[in-house]
C-alpha cells in the first residue's frame, strides 16, 4: 500500500515553490514541498550572526521597481522596504569618474535600438549598430551592463528584450528592511498554518509519471501526488539532475535553449568606509557612492547607501563568473581584495588587515542552483512556451526562468510564475 497521496507535490522551496504552495492551500489542496537544501528560500538567502553587523543577502538583494506581488507579500508580513540611494562611479584610465547613469550616452543607445527591426544577439547589435572607435565607451558600458546586470552571454542575449527592459523597466530600486528572509518566513508560517509540510534536505532524484499518482523519489523518501510542480532553478533542469521516467526530451531540450547566467557575490565588512576617504580616491568625493564599476576581475561593487555601514558587495556575473566559478573561496576573496586595491590605489595587505567579516557566495558552483538567474535569449519565448506545457496534465514547471515580462530574473518573476502555475494546476483538477 502506498504512503499518503497528496494533491500536489512541489519540488523546491524557493520563491516560486512557496508562492505556488501558498495559492494551492487557499483552495484546500493538500500540498507537500520537497527541498534539497537544509533551508527554505532557494536563491533568497539572508544571513546574520556571521561576523557582519547587519543581516546580509547572499542571494537576491534588491526589489527592482514597483513590483506588486513582492510588495503585497511584504505588506502582509508587516515588513518595510526602503529606497536604494547613492551616486554611480566608474574607475577609468583617468581615475574615478562620476556618471549619471549605468550606461554611457544612454540617449544615443536608445536611438540606435529603435533602428533594430529583427531580433539579434546583443554582440551582433554592438558590431552592427555601435561600430567605430568613437563609440568604444558606449560599447564597453553596454557590454558591462549586459554581462553584469543580466548575468548574460552577449552572444545569446536578446536585443529586443534589452530594448524592452530599458524602455519599460523601473529605475527605482529598494531593499527589504531586515532582508528578504522576512518575506520567505511569512510564506513558511502561512503554509504551516495550513498543514503543508516542507521537507528539507530532500533533493528529488527521480520522477516516475508513468504511474498514477506521480512518484517522486529522494535518497530518504518517496512522495506521491496527483500533480507535480517542478520549481528547481533552470541550471539544475539543464544539467538533467532529476531523472524523469518516461523521459521528457522535449522539455529538457527547451530548458537548455534558455539563458541562465552565472553569479558570484563577495560580501566584505571593513573597520571603516575607506572609500569615503579622499586619500584613497585621488581627492574625489565618494561619500555618497552607491555603485562603483571597473574593468577589474571583480568589476562591480556597491555600498549599503543610505545605511552607513562599512560593507561592500562585489559582484561577478555572466562570463566573468563562469570563468571563476571553479576557484576556491579564498582565491575569489583574494581577487576581490586585489580589485578593490586597484580601484582605490590601496595596498592589498592594508585591505586584508581592515577586513572584519567576509562571505563568498558562489551560486555558479552551488549544486542546487548551478548559476544565478535566467536571461532572455533570441527567440526564447518558444522554449518557454514548451516548458509551460503540462506533461500528461500532471507535471508542471515553474520558476523565474518561465516568467515573461521586464522583471525577468527577479524574485518577483519567481513569485508571479509560481502563482500563474498554481492557477494552471488548480484548473487542471
C-alpha cell at 93: 584610465
Q: How far is CA 282 from CA 24, 97, 423, in A?
A: 57, 11, 57
How much is the pTM?
0.95
Q: CB–CB of 1/161 below 8 Å?
A: no
Kind and range of the H or E element at 218?
strand 214-218
Kind and range of the H or E element at 79?
none
Q: CB–CB of 29/427 below 8 Å?
A: no
Before 102, cis peptide (omega within 30)?
Answer: no
Per-residue pLDDT in tens (0 to 9) along the chain, 429 residues: 457 999 999 999 999 999 999 999 999 999 999 999 999 999 999 998 788 999 999 999 999 888 899 999 999 999 999 999 999 999 988 899 998 878 877 889 999 999 999 999 999 999 999 999 999 889 988 999 999 989 999 999 999 999 998 888 667 899 999 999 999 999 999 999 999 999 999 999 999 999 899 999 998 899 999 999 999 999 999 999 999 999 999 999 999 999 999 999 999 999 999 999 999 999 999 999 999 999 999 999 999 999 999 999 999 999 999 999 999 999 999 999 999 999 999 999 999 999 999 999 999 999 999 999 999 999 999 999 999 999 999 999 999 999 998 888 999 999 999 999 999 999 999
Q: CB–CB of 128/116 below 8 Å?
A: no
Kind and range of the H or E element at 362?
strand 355-362
Half-sphere exposure of 188 (CA within 13 A, CB side): 17
- CA 307, CA 311: separation in Å to the nearest integer? 10
Instruction: Count CB neighbours of 221 within 10 A.
Output: 13
Q: CB–CB of 376/169 below 8 Å?
A: no
Kind and range of the H or E element at 199?
strand 198-199
Amino acid at each position: 500500500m502506498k504512503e499518503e497521496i497528496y494533491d500536489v507535490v512541489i519540488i523546491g522551496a524557493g520563491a516560486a515553490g512557496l508562492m505556488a504552495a501558498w495559492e494551492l492551500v487557499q483552495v484546500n489542496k493538500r500540498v507537500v514541498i520537497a527541498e534539497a537544501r537544509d533551508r527554505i528560500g532557494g536563491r533568497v538567502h539572508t544571513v546574520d550572526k556571521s561576523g557582519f553587523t547587519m543581516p546580509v543577502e547572499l542571494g537576491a538583494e534588491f526589489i527592482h521597481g514597483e513590483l506588486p506581488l513582492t510588495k503585497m507579500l511584504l505588506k502582509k508580513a508587516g515588513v518595510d522596504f526602503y529606497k536604494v540611494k547613492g551616486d554611480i562611479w566608474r574607475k577609468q584610465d583617468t581615475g574615478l569618474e562620476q556618471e549619471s547613469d549605468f550606461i554611457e550616452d544612454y540617449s544615443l543607445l536608445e536611438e540606435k535600438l529603435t533602428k533594430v527591426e529583427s531580433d539579434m544577439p546583443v554582440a551582433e547589435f554592438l558590431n552592427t549598430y555601435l561600430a567605430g572607435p568613437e563609440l568604444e565607451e558606449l560599447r564597453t558600458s553596454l557590454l558591462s551592463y549586459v554581462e553584469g546586470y543580466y548575468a548574460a552571454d552577449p552572444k545569446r542575449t536578446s536585443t529586443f528584450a534589452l530594448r524592452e527592459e530599458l524602455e519599460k523597466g523601473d529605475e527605482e530600486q529598494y531593499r527589504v528592511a531586515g532582508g528578504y528572509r522576512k518575506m520567505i518566513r511569512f510564506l513558511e508560517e502561512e503554509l504551516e498554518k495550513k498543514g503543508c509540510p516542507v521537507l528539507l534536505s530532500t533533493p528529488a532524484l527521480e520522477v516516475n509519471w508513468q504511474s498514477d499518482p506521480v512518484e517522486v523519489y529522494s535518497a530518504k523518501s518517496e512522495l506521491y501526488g496527483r500533480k507535480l510542480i517542478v520549481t528547481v532553478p533552470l541550471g539544475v533542469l539543464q544539467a538533467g539532475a532529476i531523472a524523469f521516467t518516461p523521459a521528457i526530451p522535449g522539455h529538457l531540450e527547451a530548458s537548455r535553449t534558455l539563458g541562465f547566467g552565472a553569479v558570484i557575490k563577495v560580501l566584505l565588512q571593513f573597520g571603516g568606509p575607506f572609500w569615503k576617504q579622499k586619500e584613497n580616491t585621488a581627492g574625489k568625493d565618494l561619500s555618497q557612492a552607491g555603485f562603483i564599476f571597473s574593468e577589474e576581475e571583480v568589476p562591480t561593487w556597491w555600498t549599503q547607501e543610505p545605511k552607513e555601514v562599512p560593507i561592500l558587495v562585489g559582484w561577478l556575473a555572466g562570463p566573468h563568473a563562469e570563468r571563476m566559478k571553479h576557484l576556491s573561496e579564498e582565491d575569489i576573496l583574494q581577487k576581490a581584495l586585489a580589485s578593490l586595491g586597484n580601484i582605490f590605489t590601496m595596498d592589498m595587505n592594508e585591505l586584508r588587515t581592515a577586513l572584519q567579516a567576509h562571505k563568498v557566495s558562489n551560486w555558479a558552483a552551488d549544486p542546487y542552483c548551478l548559476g544565478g538567474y535566467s536571461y532572455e535569449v533570441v527567440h526564447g519565448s518558444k522554449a518557454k512556451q514548451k516548458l509551460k506545457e503540462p506533461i500528461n496534465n500532471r507535471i508542471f514547471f515553474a520558476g523565474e526562468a518561465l516568467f515573461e515580462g521586464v522583471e525577468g530574473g527577479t524574485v518577483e518573476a519567481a513569485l508571479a510564475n509560481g502563482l500563474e502555475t498554481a492557477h494552471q494546476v488548480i484548473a487542471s483538477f
